[in-house]
């Protein structure tokens, strides 16, 4: 009998390892390698858990977070970060409770997962933070900026020497994320696909963003791309899209999504999430969760006012605003071909109202500035930009915000081109200015 007890005691650790996880997350390496574990630990700490441990999982880019809850019960949360596409696949196969993603769900994926509900609904598609796909070179490289067209030529292999870009350096060495990565899919959709190009076959591919950046830092001939949170000491180039200016991946320009390679980081939940999945999503949206997003090197959805320099090419009414008011670091954007706010904008409305309430500017100190994409019909861009600004005013009014003025800018001051759908969506925006 004593031998059986000894055997059972020896088996207890193995049994604990085999216990089912309370929460399983799979998907983006960008989101899952460090941010998701930090959010999980933040949630557990907020719930009074103790004895938190983060361990390597069964394979590379997999982790297990263990803890003891306030009632003394063990908690096990599994995190796999093999790429956005793998997260959607795992969600559909019942192997994940949340898919983490560094790009929006595709039409095909949404149809394939329709049995889990409408994954594009505001409850299922949750933006937990922002990031920029940073184009990085070795710190000694003198290049400062590129256009999206030049970038496509470089990564497709059509431009192969640094001298073709106006700087010395010889052969360009390409480093790219692998095909399962949401970072690559974002880069591919924003840079290569509009030019009908593919990444060069000789590019070195990486599953891990950190490994890619480390190689760029070691290679003076290198150019690569990664999420902003992984840039480390590499040089990040300014990027120009279409008629827009060259913009660097700064936090304010990523927060407003004006930077051409800005992207959203997502949690996707089924229509009927598990309690732990819902709790983690709610925590990620909270002030404490957003503080963790910022601490991990990403851009949090925390509202603040920033000054905008007065420039000669700005329309007169915009120059007046820039000289007397400050712009909030958020732009409201819309569902395709409509004046309905998208899912991120719907959550930004109460954030903006909360900020204005905190600084005592709910009444008559807000100006909403609407922008649109270029249209063939005269006056149509101005009309649509006004309608979008009015839609934002209505939503803010429900939160107690009384805007002083609505200004339509039409297709002035574009931040992207006009040829592609994604470019036009970026230009359709409403800025919030505060006196």
All structural domains of the chain, each given as residue ranges with its CATH number in brackets, are 19-128+265-295 (3.40.190.10), 131-255 (3.40.190.10), 303-434 (3.30.1330.60)
Average pLDDT over residues 208-236: 94
- The per-residue pLDDT for range 27-62, each reduced to its tens digit, is 999 899 999 999 999 999 999 999 999 999 999 999
Alpha-helix runs per DSSP H in 302-358: 316-324, 343-358
pLDDT band, very low/low/confident/very high, at 10 (cuts 50, 70, 90): very low
The end-to-end CA distance of the chain, in Å, is: 79
HSE, CB side, 13 Å, CA atoms: give it for residue 175.
Answer: 26
Q: How far apart are CA 134 and CA 318, in angstroms?
A: 29
How many CB atoms are closer than 10 A to CB 357? 14
At 313-326, the pLDDT tens digits run 899 999 999 999 99
Looking at residue 15, its pLDDT comes to: 40
For the chain, give the number of residues: 435
Q: What is the mean pLDDT of residues 247-260?
A: 94
Give the C-alpha separation, 356 to 431, whole Å.
14
Nearest-5° angle of CA 99, CA 268, CA 118? 130
CA-based angle 347:348:351, to the nearest 5? 105
Rounded to an integer, what is the distance from CA 236 to the centroid of its chain?
Answer: 17
> What beta strand segments (E) does 151-308 contain?
173-177, 204-206, 222-227, 235-236, 238-240, 262-268, 305-306
Q: Is the pLDDT of residue 180 over 90?
A: no
pTM of the entire predicted model: 0.85
Q: Which residue bears the tokens 């009414």?
A: 317
Predicted pLDDT of residue 9: 44
With contact defined as beta carbons under 8 Å apart, do 337 and 374 qualify? no
Closest CA to 23 of 50, 43, 45: 43
Percent of the chain with pLDDT over 70: 96
pLDDT digits (tens, 9 = 90+) for 383-421: 999 999 999 999 999 999 999 999 999 999 999 888 888
Mean pLDDT taken over the chain:
93
pLDDT score for 395: 98
Name every residue whose Cβ is closer than 8 Å to that of residue 58 and which is 6 or more positions away in sequence: none
Q: What is the mean pLDDT of residues 85-101?
A: 98
Number of CB atoms found within 10 A of residue 427's CB: 26
pLDDT at 175 over 60: yes
Instruction: Please name which of 265, 270, 281 lies closest in space to residue 42, comparing C-alpha atoms.
Output: 281
Say which residue the tokens 């732009």 belong to: 331
Please report the pLDDT score of residue 409 as a whole number. Answer: 96
**Phi and psi (nearest 5°) for 367?**
-120, 130
pLDDT at 6: 45
HSE-up of residue 378 (Cα within 13 Å, Cβ side)? 0
Secondary structure (3-state) at 173: strand
CA 30 from chain centre, in angstroms, equals: 10
Say whether 121 sits in a helix, a strand or coil.
coil
C-alpha dist (Å) from residue 242 to 41, 234, 260, 417? 42, 25, 10, 4
Mean pLDDT to the nearest integer, 181-192: 90
pLDDT value of residue 341: 97
DSSP 135-155: EEE-TT----EEEHHHHHHHH
- The predicted structure's pLDDT at residue 230: 87
pLDDT at 231: 92
């Amino acid at each position: 009998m004593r031998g059986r007890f000894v055997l059972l005691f020896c088996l207890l650790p193995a049994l604990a390892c085999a216990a089912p996880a309370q929460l399983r997350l799979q998907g983006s390496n960008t989101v899952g390698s460090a941010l998701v574990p930090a959010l999980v630990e933040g949630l557990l700490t907020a719930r009074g858990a103790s004895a938190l441990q983060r361990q390597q999982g069964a394979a590379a880019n997999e982790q297990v977070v263990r803890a003891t809850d306030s009632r003394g019960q063990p908690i096990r949360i599994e995190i796999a970060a093999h790429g956005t596409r793998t997260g959607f696949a795992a969600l559909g196969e019942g192997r994940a409770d949340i898919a983490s993603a560094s790009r929006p769900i595709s039409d095909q994926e949404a149809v394939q997962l329709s049995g889990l509900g409408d994954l594009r609904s505001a409850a299922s598609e949750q933006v937990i933070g922002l990031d920029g796909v940073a184009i990085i070179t070795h710190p000694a490289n003198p290049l400062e900026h590129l256009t999206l067209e030049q970038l496509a030529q470089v990564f497709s292999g059509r431009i192969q020497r640094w001298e073709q870009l106006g700087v010395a350096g010889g052969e360009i060495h390409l480093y790219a994320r692998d095909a399962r990565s949401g970072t690559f899919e974002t880069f591919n959709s924003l840079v290569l696909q509009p030019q009908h190009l593919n990444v060069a076959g000789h590019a070195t591919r990486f599953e891990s963003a950190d490994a890619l950046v480390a190689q760029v830092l070691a290679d003076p001939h290198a150019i690569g791309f990664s999420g902003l949170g992984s840039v480390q000491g590499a040089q990040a180039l300014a990027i120009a899209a279409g008629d827009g200016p060259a913009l660097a991946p700064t936090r304010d320009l990523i927060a407003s999504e004006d930077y051409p390679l800005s992207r959203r980081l997502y949690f996707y939940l089924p229509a009927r999430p598990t309690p732990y999945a819902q709790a983690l999503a709610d925590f990620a949206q909270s002030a404490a969760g957003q503080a963790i997003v910022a601490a991990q090197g990403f851009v949090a959805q925390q509202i603040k006012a920033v000054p905008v320099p007065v420039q000669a090419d700005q329309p007169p009414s915009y120059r007046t605003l820039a000289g007397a008011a400050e712009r909030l670091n958020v732009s409201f954007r819309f569902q395709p071909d409509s004046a309905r706010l998208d899912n991120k904008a719907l959550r930004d409305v109460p954030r903006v109202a909360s900020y204005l309430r905190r600084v005592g500017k709910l009444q008559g100190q807000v100006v909403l500035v609407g922008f649109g994409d270029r249209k063939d019909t005269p006056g149509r861009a101005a009309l649509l930009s006004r309608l979008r600004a009015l839609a934002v005013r209505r939503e803010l009014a429900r939160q107690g915000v009384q805007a002083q003025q609505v200004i339509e800018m039409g297709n002035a001051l574009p931040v992207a081109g006009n040829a592609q759908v994604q470019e036009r969506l970026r230009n359709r925006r409403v800025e919030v200015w505060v006196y």
